Amino acid sequence: MKISLMVPLRAVRRQIVHQALRLSGEGVERGDKRYQAGDWRRAYRAYRTHLVDRPQDGKVWAKAADCARRAGDFSGEFYSLRQALLLEPNDVAILVDAARQYKDRGYLLTARACLASARRVDPMLPFEAFERAVAPLSVESGHRLLLDVTDMFAFFRLNVRKTGMQRVQAQVMTSLLERHVGGDIIFTFYNELLREYKIASTLLACELVDASNADEVTVEQLAVILNQIFIDAEPLKCRKGDFYLVLGAFWFGNDYLARLEDLRKDGATVGINFFDLIPYTHPEYVDVATQRDFTGKLEEALASIDYACTNSAFVADELRRLLASLGRENVPVGPVPLAHDITASDSEQVVSDTFKQSVPKDYVLCVGTIERRKNHALLLEIWKRLYAQHGDKTPSLVIVGKWGWRIEEFREELAASKNVHGKIMIREGLADSELEYLYRNCLFTVFPSFTEGWGLPVGESLYFGKPCIASNSSSIPEVGGDLVRYFDPMNTNEAYRVIDAALSDRSDLAVWTEQVRNHFKPRSWDQVTDDLMQQIFKLSAIAKSLPMV
């Protein structure tokens, strides 16, 4: 009985003490004393006690963030940092300290944004050594470039691991901010509930991208950042001379494109970046909802833009033909080929031994969502033939990708063959570092897709010095050039001969691998973003010389 009474009494006493500290302001003094004593956890609690009644005290939020960092409280640190930056956006000391903390956590993009903000407030800010490691190159464009990332924000509501479209958007955002922070680069999104376009906080957008690159991030952690983005976003007011580009998907809601037309009327030059036209040209490869939404919105989208960018010359030609059929052949279209690399990391240092041990010794790698369009059924048939010919000596096939739409028949055949006697391995939800490890250690890669808008895995394979055997369809030869060996994706026999030859003649494979390593010249994301900005300005200038539709 005595023990049972002590627990609530202690709780009541603690509550009374906390209330007294909150009312007296002594929470900060106690926090400072704990901080000086190196008692980070208690200092953090003292500061947070103070902030219960004084949540607008940005400087104390900054102190709380520092304590949380030193105590190893990841979520407490980032939450407190966000509050400090939102409340004190022009406090140079807080901005610089935040940059240091973000850099220590590996959030380099967010660190750069903090430093850029600090220098806008104080151009004479000393250039410390740690700042040089993350400082952006300032390239003044003289214009506002408004990048619509509605699609990426919506994706991160439900997903952690980026697929092709989101990877491209994240890389473009990163490179633009690293190289063009001095110009007005603004991220926007459409709030469907409020039916209006909003401006996202650059710092929070940077943190979202940085967090999405972390190996152990969760949907819940991304949701915290997204919620803060939506809370703090300001209405977008376009003006004459603005360049507006929808960087991702455009088939949203009922009012998205109608509101896009309003931006044109306000003076902005509006464009869309088309990754591909597959839901329109090949509806059999997408789910019914996507096909309906994409096709239903496509003509409206083409009527709402001044210019268009595409990911490849192949898609640009497709789009020009479509525009001509709609009587809009004067809309300028420019291709911006994508890069060949993915986010770099020291994969050898961060990949766990458990993961390494799970990887076969000899394997071929295939990267991409597991769906009909990617043609994995062809690879299943080829590996059955290889096993029939070579038995247990057949190298494994490691397929990396999430399960997509209408793939039941492939799953059933794969299960019936017992994954071709265990020779086919499916991996999904991998961290970037784990994917890099698989690229670096495979024999070569295969990419049998029926159609693409670009073909990122082909370029990634070459980037990591690995040969690729790929489909000769659509845009894929633009990515691989002469260093890739091709086959007709409709011809299983041809594909089998090319793949079997590479596996059987290891001397030739070694020579081919050396050719890739010596002669491949990767296209960087910096080149992509530079070309993207040039295309936006060039195409906008052409569009402005035409009558407005």
Which of 261-265, 346-350, 501-505, 536-540 comes out lowest in average pLDDT? 346-350
Read off the tokens for 62.
Answer: 């900054």
SS3 (DSSP) at 488: coil
pLDDT at 139 (0 to 100) = 39
What is d(CA 95, CA 76) in angstroms, rounded to the nearest whole number?
A: 18
Q: Where are the domains of the chain?
A: 20-132, 144-339+527-544, 347-522
Structure-model confidence comparison of residues 74 and 246, the more confident one: 246
- Whole-model pTM: value is 0.76
Output DSSP code: residue 275. S
**pLDDT score of 345:** 46
Amino acid (1-letter code) at residue 224: V
Q: How confident is the model at residue 480 (pLDDT cuts 50, 70, 90)?
A: very high
Residue 106, classed as helix, strand or coil, is: coil
Structure tokens at 537: 């300005």
CA diameter of the chain: 87
More confident residue, 13 or 484: 484
CATH number of 347-522: 3.40.50.2000
Please state which of the ranges 150-164, 225-239, 303-317, 409-423 shows the lowest mean pLDDT.
150-164
Distance CA 220, CA 310 (A): 33
Residue 20 has pLDDT above 60, yes or no: no
pLDDT at 142: 54
Residue 11 exposed, middle or buried by CB count within 10 Å (0-12, 13-18, 19+): exposed
354 by DSSP, 3-state: which?
A: helix
Dihedral sign for Cα atoms in the order 370, 374, 377, 383: negative
Mean pLDDT of the residues in the chain:
87
Fold equal for 20-132 and 347-522: no
Range in 362-366, 405-409, 489-493 the model is least confident about: 405-409
Q: Are 437 and 417 in contact (CB under 8 A)?
A: no
CATH number given to 144-339+527-544: 3.40.50.2000
Confidence of residue 57 (pLDDT cuts 50, 70, 90): very high
- Determine the Cα–Cα distance for residues 365 and 356; give it in Å rounded to an integer: 15
Alpha carbon distance 225, 14 (integer Å): 32
Looking only at the bridges linking them, the beta strands covering 243-246 and 234-235 are unpaired
The residue that leads in pLDDT, 509 or 251, is 509
Q: Which residue, 328, 321, 333, is CA-closest to 302?
A: 328
Q: What is the residue whose two structure tokens read 């209330």?
A: 19
Identify the CATH class of 20-132: mainly alpha
pLDDT, residue 131, reads: 55
Tell me the CB-side half-sphere exposure of residue 324, using CA atoms within 13 A.
7
Q: Which residue did the predictor score with more confidence, 74 or 145?
A: 145
pLDDT, residue 346, reads 40
Contact status, residue 159 vs residue 369, Cβ threshold 8 Å: no
The mean pLDDT of 218-240, rounded to a whole number, is 93
> Looking at residues 184-193, what average pLDDT do you find?
91
Q: What are phi and psi of 315, to 5 degrees?
A: -70, -35
Number of helices (H) and strands (E), helices first, in the chain? Answer: 27, 14
Question: Residue 347: pLDDT band by 50, 70, 90 thresholds?
Answer: very low
Q: Average of pLDDT values for 154-159?
A: 92
In whole angstroms, what is the distance from residue 323 CA to residue 115 CA?
Answer: 43
Share of the chain above pLDDT 70, in %: 89
Torsion of CA 461, 462, 466, 471, to 10 degrees: 70
Per-residue model confidence (pLDDT) at position 223: 95
Distance (Å, rounded) from C-alpha 262 to C-alpha 239? 11
pLDDT, residue 348, reads 45
pLDDT value at 310 more than 50: yes
Structure-derived torsion over alpha carbons of residues 421, 423, 427, 432, reported in degrees to the nearest 10: 170
Residue type, 513: T
Paired tokens of 77? 């640190």
Least trusted range by pLDDT, from 176-190, 193-207, 305-319? 176-190
Per-residue pLDDT, 546? 60
Q: What is the per-residue pLDDT across 431-451, written as a single tens digit (0 to 9) for each?
A: 888 999 999 999 999 999 999
Contacts of 126 (CB under 8 A, 6+ apart): none
The pLDDT, as a whole number, for residue 201 is: 92
Nearest to 94 by CA among 118, 112, 71: 118
Handedness of CA 60, 65, 68, 74 (dihedral sign): positive
Closest CA to 236 of 181, 182, 169, 189: 189
* CA–CA gap between residue 490 and residue 354 (Å, rounded): 38
Please give the single-letter amino acid code of residue 111: A
Least confident of 146-150, 189-193, 496-500, 526-530: 526-530
pLDDT in tens, 75-127: 888 889 889 998 998 898 888 888 888 887 778 778 888 887 887 788 777 65
Q: How high is the pLDDT of residue 93?
A: 87
Predicted confidence at residue 23, as pLDDT, reads 44
State how beta strands 445-447 and 424-427 pair.
Answer: unpaired
Q: Which pLDDT does position 534 carry in this prediction?
A: 86
* Between residues 394 and 141, the one the model is more confident about: 394
pLDDT above 90: residue 7: no
Percent of the chain with pLDDT over 90: 58
Token pair in block for residue 194: 């409020």
CA dist., res. 33 & res. 30, Å (int): 5
Task: Kindly indicate the confidence band of residue 288, based on its pLDDT and cuts at 50, 70 and 90.
Answer: confident
